[in-house]
Amino acid sequence: MSEQIAITLPDGSVRYEPAGVTARAVAEALGSRLARAAVAARVNGAVWDLDRPMHGDTTLEIITQDDPAALEVLRHSAAHVLATAVRQLFPEANIGFGPAIQDGFYYDFEVPRPFTPEDLQAIERKMREVIEADHRFVREEVERDEAQQRFRDDPLKLERLEEFGEGEVISVYTSGPFVDLCRGPHLTSTGRLSHFKLLHAAGAYWRGDSRRQMLQRIYGTAWFNKSDLDTYLHQLEEAERRDHRVLGKQLDLFSVQEDVGPGMILWHPRGAIVQYELRRFIEDELLRREYELVYTPHVTREDLFIRSGHLPLYEDQQFPAMGAAGGEAETVRYRVKPMNCPMHAVIYASRQRSYRDLPVRLAEVANVYRNELSGTLHGLLRVRMLTMDDAHIFCREDQIEEEIFDMLDLTELVLRTFGFEYRIDLATRPVKKIGGDAAWEVAERALQAALDRRKVTYGIDEGGGAFYGPKIDIKLRDAIGREWQGTTIQLDYQMPQRLGLEYAGSDNKPHQPVMIHRAIYGTLERFVGCLIEHFAGAFPVWLAPEQVRVVPITDGQAEAACTVHRRCRDAGIRSSVDDRNETLNYRVRDAELMKVPYMAVVGQREVEQGTIALRARGAKKKQEIVPVDEFVERAREIIRSRALTVWPER
Partner RNA sequence: GCCACCGUAGCUCAGCGGUAGAGCUCUCGAUUCGUAAUCGAGUGGUCGUCGGUUCGAUUCCGACCGGUGGCUCCA
Nearest to 74 by CA among 51, 96, 46, 104: 104
CB of residue 311 to RNA, shortest distance in Å? 19
Name the segment binding RNA (CB under 7 A); options: 11-19, 53-61, 85-93, 112-120.
Answer: 112-120
Give dist(CA 616, CA 631) in Å, integer. 11
CB of residue 252 to RNA, shortest distance in Å? 9
Give dist(CA 320, CA 256) in Å, integer. 22
Does position 166 bind RNA by CB under 7 A? no
Return the residue of 17, 61, 180, 444 that touches RNA, per CB under 7 A: 180
Give dist(CA 180, CA 160) in Å, integer. 12
Name the segment binding RNA (CB under 7 A); options: 370-378, 509-517, 519-527, 531-539.
Answer: 370-378
Q: Are strands 548-552 and 598-602 parallel, antiparallel or unpaired?
A: parallel
Does position 16 bind RNA by CB under 7 A? no
Per-residue binder mask for RNA (CB under 7 A), 256-295, x = binder: x-x--xxx--------------------------------
Looking at beta carbons only, is 381 or 443 nearer to RNA? 381
Per-residue binder mask for RNA (CB under 7 A), 116-145, x = binder: xx----------------------------
CB of residue 628 to RNA, shortest distance in Å? 13
Return the residue of 4, 32, 44, 102 that touches RNA, per CB under 7 A: 102
Name the segment binding RNA (CB under 7 A); options: 97-105, 334-342, 408-416, 535-543.
Answer: 97-105
Looking at beta carbons only, is 30 or 229 nearer to RNA? 229
CB of residue 551 to RNA, shortest distance in Å? 8
Residue 471 is which amino acid?
Answer: K
φ/ψ of 495, rounded to 5, equals -65, -40
Does position 582 bind RNA by CB under 7 A? yes
Return the residue of 613, 635, 639, 646 that touches RNA, per CB under 7 A: 613
> Coil, strand, or helix at residue 288?
helix
Does position 406 bind RNA by CB under 7 A? no
Does position 606 bind RNA by CB under 7 A? yes
Intra-chain end-to-end CA distance of the chain, in Å: 80
CB of residue 182 to RNA, shortest distance in Å? 5
Contact 277, 542 (CB under 8 A): yes
Nearest to 44 by CA among 69, 13, 8: 8
Contact 601, 615 (CB under 8 A): yes
Looking at beta carbons only, is 62 or 215 nearer to RNA? 215
Looking at beta carbons only, is 349 or 538 nearer to RNA? 538
Return the residue of 176, 271, 342, 379 that touches RNA, per CB under 7 A: 379
How many residues line the site for RNA (CB under 7 A)?
A: 73
Work out the burial of residue 1: count CB atoms within 10 Å of its CB; fewer than 13 is exposed, 13-18 middle, 19 or more buried: exposed
Does position 97 bind RNA by CB under 7 A? yes
Q: What residues numbered 487-516 form the site for RNA, per CB under 7 A?
A: none
Return all residues near 650 (Cβ < 8 A) that are at least 6 apart: none
Please, what is the Cα angle at 503 between 501 and 508, to 5 degrees? 140
Residue 86 is which amino acid?
Answer: V
Q: What residues numbered 190-219 form the site for RNA, per CB under 7 A?
A: 200-205, 207-210, 214, 216-217, 219
Give me the residues paired with residue 598 across strands. 548, 616
Looking at beta carbons only, is 392 or 549 nearer to RNA? 549
Looking at beta carbons only, is 115 or 420 nearer to RNA? 115
Give dist(CA 557, CA 561) in Å, integer. 6
Give dist(CA 200, CA 219) in Å, integer. 5
Give dist(CA 632, CA 605) in Å, integer. 19
User: Within 10 A of 423 (CB to CB), how many other CB atoms are there?
Assistant: 13
DSSP 96: -
Looking at beta carbons only, is 200 or 445 nearer to RNA? 200
Does position 167 bind RNA by CB under 7 A? no
Contact 54, 60 (CB under 8 A): yes
Does position 592 bind RNA by CB under 7 A? yes
CB of residue 51 to RNA, shortest distance in Å? 17
